[in-house]
A and B are shown apart, each in its own frame.
Chain A
């Protein structure tokens, strides 16, 4: 134990001496928590719309002004021909083109139905899908409020038949994206510190050759490994605390659930990602290799973890992959505890998952570390 104490003393000395890394460890959480939730926003506002009105009737005017008044759309141009409007789409000055055919009003009144065409620029998938949906909703609403339809409803004299849908967002009443992102960014921070920093730190000893000098001393492998993992575990917990403070100060997000539970998860999760970092270090000879291996897995972890897209809407095979990354589970739990206030009973399986990850990753790393001398 005495030896371990000396190793820890040495590690902390080195970490605190590297001012760049130290600054990064403090600046990173602050910047990420402040910038990312503001920048990452899937809400679609200001959809640019080009309109081709062949009808020039009062109905078509009503429809266009209704769309303009909805607040989501900015009508960038009124064109005489579809080709003219398509030009706007091609130049990316419009996201949608709405084409109202000649005889729009006449056909609606006489025949009772008419078609309009919506063309969508699908390059920006989110904007196209959501913008198209908005436009559909506005048109449907317009349709329902048309005089002829109103008359038809009155004629049927059963307005109760209509199902009117209203909805409420639970746990995030105003559906603000930052509530979704902030807990996930906290997880990202722990992952970066645990995964990257440990891997690079251990590999640096190999690269510089200091591990040779360590290996000829009576220091045993477990002492060396613990000496590397404990400092980063502590730093991880400090950064996690810092992250929670920032999300409280900047966003007013306070964990609804128990902080003790949150910290127990963070503690186990940190052990798991430290194991991952150690594993990467046993497979790489120098820092560039370690960097690339860690980066490769980080990308997969983060993209598959439900950080950006919900894991529930993934195809089954990718759900499996997603469940095989520790990040997924901690992001899920983090959101549950912080936003929903879930208790241990709600998240006990996730806890088991994380413990498994911690055991498997560390076990594998130590097994592989033994093999390489």
Chain B
């Protein structure tokens, strides 16, 4: 049996004396060496889970284990074994790259030289600027520095809270490549992101919404579990088409997705494409285009979200 690196059992967290429910009875297991994604919109409770797992926040209910240690009882052990990169850049802006790295290495009782091979890949990219103050770095470089700092003490579990939010597309891609290389070194990585397109880069993902887990599975299985046929529909006037389609009794869901509308029907028809085109043209829409498509993670997410409601 595989070892479990992170496990949450019925974790609940409320704010404002119980008025705001941020994390609602979440149970989750992340295997050792896994690249696990927490996917959900802002306010889904991702950051709360990270803050609980990094021992910054106490849960109101439930228990959790990180790297085999109890979250409450052995929080000191956990702090030595976890690398955390918060969503907001939280290193010392008035210290240089080198000083930040040295400081965090030192307080963990290690040195940069000791774990150099772990961060070498990433550090090489910011090395030319090592005497520049962290506050003066670009967003992408800040993010690399933060990742280096989170790795400096060779953690068993890496917790990354929205590491790619506000970072350009190229840097995002680079960042995910770095994560894959880190995974090969045996580090368990728990990463959160609001971007659905990053979900398929994870081995397993959990879809979160309003503090609850809606689904935990591999990205492929989540897509495979999509229970209906999905059609992409487009016409000259997309907005009018959206309104018209939503009025139809046979249409189960219809929402805008890029330049297309994504439509599912209540009962799968053999000739769904023809039927939709026919209906749209009868309503007077021009240049109607209908095609059967593979659902994406985002489609699954929207569907699960609607089911919850």
Contact = CB atoms under 8 A, between A and B. Distances in A.
> Is this pair of chains taken from one and the same complex?
yes
A373 interface: yes
A216 B54 contact: yes
Q: At the interface, is chain B mostly helix, strand, loop or mixed? A: loop
Interface in A1-26: 2-3, 6-7, 9-10, 13-14, 17-18
A218 B77 CA distance: 8
Contact of B107 (A3, A14, A17, A18): A3
B260 to A, nearest CB: 40
Given A14-B95, A17-B94, A218-B80, A213 B86 contact: yes
Interface string A191-223: 000000000000000001110110111110000
B99 A13 contact: yes
Contacts of A6: 103, 106-107
Contact of B79 (A9, A216, A373): A216
Given A217-B107, A218-B76, 19 more contacts: A3-B109, A6-B107, A10-B92, A10-B99, A13-B99, A14-B92, A14-B94, A17-B95, A18-B94, A209-B88, A209-B90, A212-B86, A212-B90, A213-B86, A216-B54, A216-B82, A218-B107, A218-B108, A373-B57
13 contacts: A6-B106, A14-B94, A18-B94, A208-B90, A209-B86, A209-B88, A209-B90, A213-B86, A216-B54, A216-B55, A216-B82, A217-B108, A218-B76
Contacts of B107: 3, 6-7, 217-219
Contacts of B57: 373
Interface in B84-112: 84, 86, 88-95, 99, 103-104, 106-109
Interface residues of A, number: 21
A10 B105 CA distance: 13
A10 B107 CA distance: 11
B56 interface: yes
Contacts of A14: 92, 94-95
Contacts of B103: 6, 9-10
Nearest to B80: A218
Interface string B56-88: 110000000000000000001001101010101
Contacts of B56: 212, 215-216, 373
B149 interface: yes
A213 B149 contact: yes
Interface string B239-280: 000000000000000000000000000000000000000000
A75 B200 CA distance: 93
Contacts of A218: 76, 79-80, 107-109
B84 A216 contact: yes
Interface of B: 54-57, 76, 79-80, 82, 84, 86, 88-95, 99, 103-104, 106-109, 149
Contacts of B106: 2-3, 6
Nearest to B84: A216
Nearest to A220: B76
B154 to A, nearest CB: 14
A249 B11 CA distance: 66
Interface in A52-88: none
Contacts of B79: 216-218
Listed from nearest, the 7 A-B pairs whose CB atoms lie closest are A209-B90, A6-B106, A213-B90, A216-B84, A217-B107, A216-B54, A10-B103
Nearest to A211: B90
Contacts of B89: 209
B90 A210 contact: yes
B287 to A, nearest CB: 51
B56 to A, nearest CB: 6
A14 B91 CA distance: 13
A102 B108 CA distance: 93
A2 B103 CA distance: 12
Contacts of B54: 216
Contacts of A9: 103
Contacts of B84: 213, 216
Contacts of B80: 218
B271 to A, nearest CB: 57
Contacts of B99: 10, 13
A184 B79 CA distance: 47
A217 B104 contact: yes
Contacts of B92: 10, 14, 210
Nearest to A209: B90
Contacts of A2: 106, 109
Nearest to B135: A208
Nearest to B105: A6
- Identify which of A2, A7, A10 gathers the most chain B CB atoms within 10 Å of its CB: A10
Contacts of B88: 209
B95 A213 contact: no
A215 B93 CA distance: 17
A6 B108 CA distance: 11
Contacts of A208: 90, 93
A10 B95 contact: yes
Nearest to A213: B90
B130 to A, nearest CB: 15
A225 B80 CA distance: 20
B307 to A, nearest CB: 35
B94 to A, nearest CB: 5
Contacts of B108: 217-218
A72 B302 CA distance: 88
A209 B95 CA distance: 15
Contacts of A219: 107
A210 B91 contact: yes
Contacts of A217: 79, 104, 107-108
B247 to A, nearest CB: 49
A219 B106 CA distance: 10
B93 to A, nearest CB: 7
A217 B95 CA distance: 18
B82 A13 contact: no
Contacts of A209: 86, 88-90
A210 B91 CA distance: 6
Contacts of B76: 218
- Identify which of A3, A14, A210, A217 gathers the most chain B CB atoms within 10 Å of its CB: A217
A14 B54 CA distance: 26
